[in-house]
Amino acid sequence: MYIYKYRRFDENSLNALKNNEIWFSRGVKFNDPFDCSLNVPITLMSITSIRKFINVNKNNSLLLELAKNNEDLIDFIVNQQIEKNREYIENNSIERTDLYPVYELVMASLSRAFICCFSQTATNSLLWSHYSNSHTGFCLRFKKDVLLNDLSLFDYGEVKYTNEPINLMEGLYDNSNPARNIIFTKDENWRYEQE
Protein backbone atom coordinates (compact mmCIF):
# COMPACT_ATOMS: atom_id res chain seq x y z
CA MET A 1 0.00 0.00 0.00
CA TYR A 2 1.14 3.51 -0.77
CA ILE A 3 0.62 6.82 0.99
CA TYR A 4 1.04 10.22 -0.62
CA LYS A 5 2.40 13.64 0.23
CA TYR A 6 1.35 16.62 -1.87
CA ARG A 7 4.00 19.33 -2.25
CA ARG A 8 4.45 22.66 -3.98
CA PHE A 9 7.55 23.55 -6.00
CA ASP A 10 9.53 25.59 -3.51
CA GLU A 11 13.02 25.42 -2.05
CA ASN A 12 12.03 23.47 1.07
CA SER A 13 10.04 20.88 -0.87
CA LEU A 14 12.74 20.40 -3.48
CA ASN A 15 15.48 20.12 -0.82
CA ALA A 16 13.41 17.52 1.03
CA LEU A 17 12.96 15.57 -2.21
CA LYS A 18 16.66 15.84 -3.11
CA ASN A 19 17.83 14.80 0.38
CA ASN A 20 15.19 12.09 0.85
CA GLU A 21 13.70 13.89 3.86
CA ILE A 22 10.24 14.41 5.23
CA TRP A 23 9.19 17.76 6.67
CA PHE A 24 7.40 17.75 10.02
CA SER A 25 5.38 20.82 11.01
CA ARG A 26 3.76 22.07 14.15
CA GLY A 27 -0.01 21.63 14.17
CA VAL A 28 -0.56 25.35 14.70
CA LYS A 29 0.75 25.92 11.16
CA PHE A 30 -1.95 23.77 9.54
CA ASN A 31 -4.65 25.23 7.30
CA ASP A 32 -7.43 23.93 9.56
CA PRO A 33 -7.51 26.11 12.70
CA PHE A 34 -8.98 23.19 14.67
CA ASP A 35 -6.13 20.78 13.82
CA CYS A 36 -4.07 19.93 16.89
CA SER A 37 -6.01 22.43 18.89
CA LEU A 38 -8.23 22.54 21.92
CA ASN A 39 -10.63 24.74 19.98
CA VAL A 40 -12.76 21.66 19.39
CA PRO A 41 -15.85 20.64 21.33
CA ILE A 42 -14.88 18.97 24.60
CA THR A 43 -17.28 17.11 26.83
CA LEU A 44 -17.27 17.10 30.58
CA MET A 45 -16.47 13.98 32.51
CA SER A 46 -19.47 11.67 32.49
CA ILE A 47 -20.59 9.55 35.41
CA THR A 48 -19.27 6.50 33.56
CA SER A 49 -15.93 8.27 33.13
CA ILE A 50 -15.72 8.97 36.86
CA ARG A 51 -16.46 5.37 37.77
CA LYS A 52 -13.90 4.09 35.23
CA PHE A 53 -11.32 6.58 36.50
CA ILE A 54 -11.79 5.39 40.08
CA ASN A 55 -11.75 1.73 39.01
CA VAL A 56 -8.53 2.12 37.00
CA ASN A 57 -6.93 3.98 39.89
CA LYS A 58 -8.12 1.58 42.58
CA ASN A 59 -4.50 0.78 43.44
CA ASN A 60 -3.73 4.45 43.91
CA SER A 61 -3.12 4.73 47.65
CA LEU A 62 -4.33 8.34 47.87
CA LEU A 63 -7.67 7.52 46.26
CA LEU A 64 -8.01 4.41 48.43
CA GLU A 65 -7.32 6.42 51.56
CA LEU A 66 -9.85 9.06 50.57
CA ALA A 67 -12.45 6.40 49.82
CA LYS A 68 -11.82 4.59 53.13
CA ASN A 69 -12.22 7.79 55.12
CA ASN A 70 -15.34 8.90 53.30
CA GLU A 71 -17.89 6.32 52.20
CA ASP A 72 -19.81 8.94 50.28
CA LEU A 73 -16.81 10.04 48.19
CA ILE A 74 -17.93 8.44 44.94
CA ASP A 75 -21.49 9.66 45.34
CA PHE A 76 -20.20 13.14 46.11
CA ILE A 77 -17.98 13.17 43.00
CA VAL A 78 -20.78 11.81 40.82
CA ASN A 79 -23.30 14.33 42.16
CA GLN A 80 -20.82 17.15 41.70
CA GLN A 81 -20.25 16.11 38.08
CA ILE A 82 -23.99 15.78 37.49
CA GLU A 83 -24.40 19.33 38.75
CA LYS A 84 -21.56 20.55 36.50
CA ASN A 85 -23.15 18.79 33.54
CA ARG A 86 -26.50 20.38 34.41
CA GLU A 87 -24.84 23.82 34.56
CA TYR A 88 -23.10 23.12 31.26
CA ILE A 89 -26.35 22.12 29.58
CA GLU A 90 -28.26 25.09 30.99
CA ASN A 91 -25.56 27.69 30.40
CA ASN A 92 -23.90 26.04 27.39
CA SER A 93 -20.56 26.99 28.89
CA ILE A 94 -17.63 25.32 30.57
CA GLU A 95 -15.05 26.75 32.90
CA ARG A 96 -11.48 26.19 31.82
CA THR A 97 -10.59 25.52 35.46
CA ASP A 98 -12.75 22.38 35.32
CA LEU A 99 -10.34 20.87 32.81
CA TYR A 100 -7.20 22.81 33.73
CA PRO A 101 -4.97 19.86 34.76
CA VAL A 102 -5.83 17.88 31.64
CA TYR A 103 -5.64 21.01 29.51
CA GLU A 104 -2.10 21.74 30.74
CA LEU A 105 -0.98 18.16 30.08
CA VAL A 106 -2.44 18.15 26.59
CA MET A 107 -1.05 21.58 25.70
CA ALA A 108 2.43 20.55 26.86
CA SER A 109 2.25 17.45 24.67
CA LEU A 110 0.92 19.37 21.67
CA SER A 111 3.60 22.04 21.97
CA ARG A 112 6.24 19.33 21.54
CA ALA A 113 4.48 17.57 18.66
CA PHE A 114 5.75 17.76 15.11
CA ILE A 115 3.40 16.32 12.53
CA CYS A 116 3.64 15.07 8.97
CA CYS A 117 0.41 14.30 7.11
CA PHE A 118 -0.10 11.86 4.28
CA SER A 119 -3.09 10.92 2.18
CA GLN A 120 -4.23 7.51 0.99
CA THR A 121 -4.90 8.92 -2.49
CA ALA A 122 -2.86 10.66 -5.17
CA THR A 123 -5.80 11.67 -7.32
CA ASN A 124 -7.84 14.05 -5.17
CA SER A 125 -8.32 17.35 -6.99
CA LEU A 126 -8.88 19.32 -3.77
CA LEU A 127 -5.61 18.05 -2.30
CA TRP A 128 -3.78 19.02 -5.49
CA SER A 129 -5.34 22.46 -5.20
CA HIS A 130 -4.70 22.98 -1.47
CA TYR A 131 -1.26 21.44 -1.01
CA SER A 132 0.37 21.51 -4.45
CA ASN A 133 -0.01 25.19 -5.24
CA SER A 134 -3.17 24.90 -7.33
CA HIS A 135 -2.14 21.78 -9.27
CA THR A 136 1.35 23.07 -10.12
CA GLY A 137 3.30 21.05 -7.55
CA PHE A 138 4.08 17.37 -7.24
CA CYS A 139 2.97 14.36 -5.24
CA LEU A 140 5.39 11.97 -3.53
CA ARG A 141 4.51 8.30 -3.21
CA PHE A 142 5.80 6.24 -0.27
CA LYS A 143 5.52 2.55 0.48
CA LYS A 144 3.63 2.73 3.74
CA ASP A 145 5.29 -0.25 5.44
CA VAL A 146 8.82 0.87 4.48
CA LEU A 147 8.21 4.45 5.60
CA LEU A 148 6.61 3.42 8.89
CA ASN A 149 9.43 0.98 9.65
CA ASP A 150 11.85 3.89 9.29
CA LEU A 151 9.70 5.96 11.65
CA SER A 152 9.81 3.57 14.60
CA LEU A 153 10.43 6.44 17.03
CA PHE A 154 7.29 8.23 15.92
CA ASP A 155 3.62 7.68 16.50
CA TYR A 156 1.42 7.26 13.46
CA GLY A 157 -2.12 6.33 12.61
CA GLU A 158 -5.11 7.05 10.47
CA VAL A 159 -7.14 10.14 11.21
CA LYS A 160 -10.56 9.65 12.76
CA TYR A 161 -13.13 11.95 11.17
CA THR A 162 -16.07 12.74 13.39
CA ASN A 163 -18.53 15.39 14.42
CA GLU A 164 -18.48 14.08 18.00
CA PRO A 165 -16.73 16.15 20.68
CA ILE A 166 -13.44 14.97 22.12
CA ASN A 167 -13.66 13.90 25.76
CA LEU A 168 -10.32 14.85 27.31
CA MET A 169 -11.15 13.04 30.52
CA GLU A 170 -11.31 9.67 28.73
CA GLY A 171 -7.50 9.63 28.60
CA LEU A 172 -7.30 9.69 32.38
CA TYR A 173 -8.71 6.22 32.81
CA ASP A 174 -8.13 4.30 29.59
CA ASN A 175 -4.36 4.88 29.33
CA SER A 176 -4.77 6.70 26.03
CA ASN A 177 -3.05 9.95 25.27
CA PRO A 178 -5.43 12.94 25.07
CA ALA A 179 -2.94 14.85 22.90
CA ARG A 180 -2.79 11.91 20.49
CA ASN A 181 -6.58 11.86 20.33
CA ILE A 182 -6.58 15.54 19.35
CA ILE A 183 -3.84 15.07 16.74
CA PHE A 184 -5.56 12.09 15.12
CA THR A 185 -9.12 13.50 15.18
CA LYS A 186 -10.49 15.92 12.60
CA ASP A 187 -13.89 17.28 11.75
CA GLU A 188 -15.97 15.23 9.33
CA ASN A 189 -15.64 18.02 6.72
CA TRP A 190 -11.99 17.02 6.17
CA ARG A 191 -12.72 13.35 5.38
CA TYR A 192 -11.87 13.93 1.70
CA GLU A 193 -8.19 14.23 2.68
CA GLN A 194 -8.13 10.53 3.62
CA GLU A 195 -5.25 10.99 6.06
Is the pLDDT confidence value at 152 over 70?
no
What's the CA gap between 148 and 150, in Å, rounded?
5
**Which tens digits make up the pLDDT trace of 38-64?**
544 445 455 555 556 556 555 555 555
Q: For the segment 66-102, what is each residue's pLDDT rounded down to a tens digit?
A: 555 555 555 565 556 556 656 655 565 555 555 565 5
pLDDT-derived band at 3 (thresholds 50, 70, 90) equals very high
Calculate the alpha carbon distances from 194 to 119, 124, 155, 157, 161 in Å: 5, 9, 18, 12, 9
Q: Which of 53 and 145 is assigned the larger pLDDT?
A: 145
- pLDDT of res. 137: 93
Angle (deg, nearest 10), helices 73-91 and 47-56: 150
Q: Which phi and psi angles does 60 have, rounded to 5°?
A: -75, 115
Considering 93-102, 115-124, 156-165, 177-186, the range whose residues carry the highest mean pLDDT is 115-124
Is pLDDT larger for residue 41 or for residue 113? 113
